[in-house]
Amino acid sequence: MASEATSGTTRRDFLYVATGAVGAVGVGAAVWPLIDQMNPDASVRALASIEFDLAPVGVGESFTITWRGQPIFVRHRTEAEIAEARAVPMEDLKDPATDLERVVEGKEQWLIMIGICTHLGCVPLGQKPSDAKGDYNGWFCPCHGSHYDIAGRIRKGPAPLNLVLPPIEFLSDTIVKVG
């Protein structure tokens, strides 16, 4: 026993490390559920997609729907607004994206975005006719002063990115599925 102890690694050392390793895995496995319970639960995840009829939204009007507890901005853009969005040169944009990249082809009048400022998560103004629309005729976040243009692209202020586009699919001419 004494000679074994002085000759470096022993059977006992191995058992010691192996026991410790199994213990660590066990502790990790026990702790993980306690952390993962904080993630979105099954009822939240189940509300992943909704369908919406665009027909009542007239040209030049906006509408807000709720998806996953978040506001979805729907805007029926006028020809002039689409032309304005297309005319913006790419070098003026902080997060470059063409107007076509932000809408479904053939449905360019429908701009559908998650209405949450990419800075710290406020809901920008601009959906109501009486709202401030910012310096670029789109949306304006009152919290920290981010200005978005009529394609929902960030133009000025602390927000780093354009308003995020949700996954959408046109089920018919006017029925759209979000999520």
Catalytic residue positions, numbered: 144
64, 79, 86, 96: which one binds another protein (CB under 8 A)? 64
Give the sheet arrangement for strand 110-114, strand by strand.
62-67, 70-76, 110-114
Contact characters 18-57, another protein, x per CB under 8 A: -----------------x--xxxx--x-------------
Q: What does R_g of the chain's alpha carbons equal in angstroms?
A: 26
By the 8 A CB rule, do 95 and 88 touch? no
Distance CA 169, CA 175 (A): 9
Judged by beta carbon, residue 82 or residue 119, the one nearer another protein is 119
What single DSSP character describes residue 100?
G
Contact characters 148-177, another protein, x per CB under 8 A: ---------xxxx-----------------
Query: Dmax over Cα atoms in the chain, in whole Å?
Result: 91
* 82-141 binders of another protein (CB under 8 A): 118-125, 141
| Residue ranges binding another protein (CB under 8 A) | 35, 38-41, 44, 64, 66, 68-71, 118-125, 141-145, 157-160
